Amino acid sequence: MDAATLNEIRDEIRGYPDFPKKGILFRDIFSVLRKPALFEALLESMLAEIKKKTTTVNAVTALESRGFLFGPYLAMKLNVPFIPLRKKGKLPGECVQTTYALEYGHDVLEMQKDALKAGDNVVIVDDLLATGGTMNAAIKLIRSTQAEVVLCMVAIELPYLKGRSRVDAQCHTMFQFDDE
């Protein structure tokens, strides 16, 4: 991907001050989706990075819900299964789960029990890496099945929140925004 196209995608990512609460500058990927050529370029750039940074991928997982914008496409292009990671109670059948801490309280992340097998090499996809709590929970959940996380692929990272320090796996982000 050429630098000009990546810069155009970056420029399209909007920031919304004081959302979802005062003091937060929310970075929103939806504005990129309004421009199909840019969205396709972003997806293809993510795919190229996955191919460059991994040797074998057996599955792509994605975090609810914005990770679902990228995960199915990437899985299809890699010719591997797509596996959704969702909040508790959103998936049918028997699930494995992990609990993780939020700023105030806890949440639960689930995956269908038979989705992965021991030894699978898995890519986790999401739109945003902020504090790293949800990504770390996804890593823990996948590893609980004896599968291995070979890459965390993220569209946007907010380095000032130091989320990468909580991610216990190789991580690649397409764009970083250091503004608070």
State the catalytic residues. Answer: 66, 103
d(CA 130, CA 118): 29
Residue 93 Ramachandran class (φ > 0 left, ψ -120 to 50 alpha, else beta): left
What sign results for the dihedral spanned by CA atoms 43, 10, 32, 84?
Answer: positive
Closest CA relative to residue 64, chosen from 129, 20, 113, 125 = 125
